[in-house]
A = this chain, B = another copy of it.
């Protein structure tokens, strides 16, 4: 219950760990078995498997077992989902910058029009 966190939570949490980021980077270059993935890391296998599991739960990675080897691959949808979040924020941010710039422009024009000889009206916000 109440444990159904947002998918973004899990994606970002997954990517917050350098080991897991390295795994994702590795998988960007193509699928690999658990053993191959684990090899570069100085870590006991069960610990490593936990990372794989976190990545799977987050939706970043999927895997399937054939014989006794489990092959992992990247599931790019989740990555793209997270990337989208950034782009949305950037869009909002840039819109704000535009508005701000427009505001500054307006101020400049007003300043050019009225000579600053009398008490200027107090500015509202921002």
Contact = CB atoms under 8 A, between A and B. Distances in A.
Contact of A83 (B9, B12, B87, B96): B87
Given A13-B16, A96-B30, A90 B79 contact: yes
Interface residues of A, number: 32
Contact of A89 (B12, B79, B89): B79
Nearest to A15: B12
Nearest to A87: B83
Nearest to A31: B126
Given A30-B96, A83-B87, A93-B76, A12 B16 contact: yes
A92 B25 contact: yes
Among A6, A12, A74, max chain B CB count under 10 A is at A12
Given A83-B83, A93-B74, A17 B28 contact: no
A4 to B, nearest CB: 12
Nearest to A24: B89
A8 interface: yes
A105 B30 CA distance: 18
9 contacts: A12-B15, A13-B16, A21-B85, A25-B92, A28-B93, A29-B96, A79-B93, A83-B86, A83-B87
